[in-house]
Amino acid sequence: MEIHTETSKKLFQEAQQYLVGGVASSLHKAEHEEYPIYASHGKGSRIWDVDGNEYIDYMGSFGPSLLGFSHTELNKAVCEQIERGTHFALPTESVNQLSKRLVEIIPCAEVVGYQSSGTEANLVNFRLARAFTGKSKIIKFEGHYHGWADELSISVKPLSLKSMGPRNKPWKCLESAGQLESSSDEIIVLPWNDIEILEKTIKRHKHEIAAVITEPVMYNAEPIKPLPGYLEAMRQLTKDNDILLIFDEVITGFRVALGGAQELYGVTPDLVTFAKAFAGGYPIAGVAGSREILQSGVHPAGTFNANPLCVAAAIATLDIIGRPGTYENMQRITDRIKDGVNFLASRYRVNLWCDSQVSIWQLSFGIDGPMREYRDNFKVDKKTYLDFYKRCLDRGVRLHSGRGRFYISTAHTDKDVDKTLQVFEDVFKEMFNNHA
């Protein structure tokens, strides 16, 4: 079975004449793809491409589309703001309303600040940590993504175990041409989910370390949850040594709970970064923490910070996801996917790991249990996954083109799950030549 995507191919050929790489973001086309699928429109849990093919979408625009596509109430709020104006370079009452709501929702928030992307917000948090503590070094973990800026993009996606160096003292891996080697000078890289290595490092460098930054759940690569007690121990270690703890909740924020992973796990950081799902697909990001830390003399400017259009989208999104039963229903949907995939894996004798966490789910071939750290990522059978991805796409189910992390939205239904599991079964039969 093969879908026809000739128009997408033609559009990509045209784009390459005027647009660097042919795409506006390097994430829009996987390295293995000859050309990307071009979208025409979306509604609910579905996307249609320019050739008229329909897909159940599990990409969620890389996370932001928590309400699905073209949500009626979100559209209404945004259109009403368009009529009033989209940008004034002045405060609006709506910013007050949004800020008050965020302080009520986010456990660590006494005050908030705004940016336009997760990268910018994490740069602000780095600066805040240094201003508040008077120290310069930041601990970050292998495989965790905090943005594309030079100092943030260290050891995000090492290409091999060999390139990562010894586990107890990892090498710092740069991610891009043109990235300054000196950008890693104040960064300490450690393996995740290992409290002993973290404790030893803090003991050795505590007078230099301003902050530890972590994804509370490692969702940038193949998903990895924190080991029991790990986040709690990290919180205590940083507190005892006058080091700030930063949660990068660009992915987990508003997706695993209304108050993010800090609500879900009951661990409160000093600072948090949030973006993506925050406004249901509109570009807004922010930081939150104590008044004392955020008033450390850091004054980040930004032409589009908290612009009225995105603020209206954020308020509408929080209103919708704050309704009773929203997160319980998303967990029910991803549990159905998880249980269905695991049943099929057993039935067709496929070695894989499938798990779920509220609005996010995972499918990784070649392993039969949860991973502990980024280095375990090299155990995953990426070749089998790529084959699986292509076959599912041809049948109208759109997954991530490079890794087994997927999102649902409030718009996904049981019918979507039924069709998805049927497609998965058809693909398993075709790939593994097994019979129930």
304 Cβ contact list (under 8 Å, min separation 6): 87, 116, 283, 310
Angle value at C-alpha 390, between 388 and 392, nearest 5 degrees: 70
**Sheet order of strands, 271-274 included:** 111-115, 285-289, 271-274, 244-248, 209-214, 137-141, 187-190
The tokens of 260 are what? Answer: 């993010």
Pairing state between β 271-274 and 111-115: unpaired
174 forms beta bridges with 154
Gyration radius of the chain's alpha carbons: 22
Residue 362, SS3 per DSSP: strand
Contact 47, 36 (CB under 8 A): no
In angstroms, rounded to a whole number, what is the distance separating the alpha carbons of residues 85 and 260? Answer: 31
Match 């009225």 to its residue by tokens: 308
- Report the residue count for the chain: 436
Q: Where are the alpha helices (DSSP H) in 59-194?
A: 72-84, 93-105, 118-133, 161-164
Contact 284, 92 (CB under 8 A): no
Residue 195, SS3 per DSSP: helix
Is 29 catalytic? The answer is no
Is 276 catalytic? The answer is yes
Q: What is the DSSP letter of 343?
A: H
- Please report the sign of the dihedral spanned by the C-alpha atoms of residue 66, residue 70, residue 76, residue 81: positive
Active-site choice (248, 270, 355, 416): 248
Active-site choice (276, 348, 385, 389): 276
User: C-alpha 57: how far from its chain's center?
Assistant: 16
Q: What is the DSSP letter of 170?
A: P
The enclosing H or E element of 340 equals helix 326-347
Active-site choice (145, 219, 265, 348): 145
CA dihedral 195, 199, 200, 201 (to 10 degrees): 100
What is the phi/psi pair of residue 131, to 5°?
-65, -40
Q: What is the DSSP letter of 174?
A: B
Q: So which residues are the catalytic ones?
A: 145, 248, 276
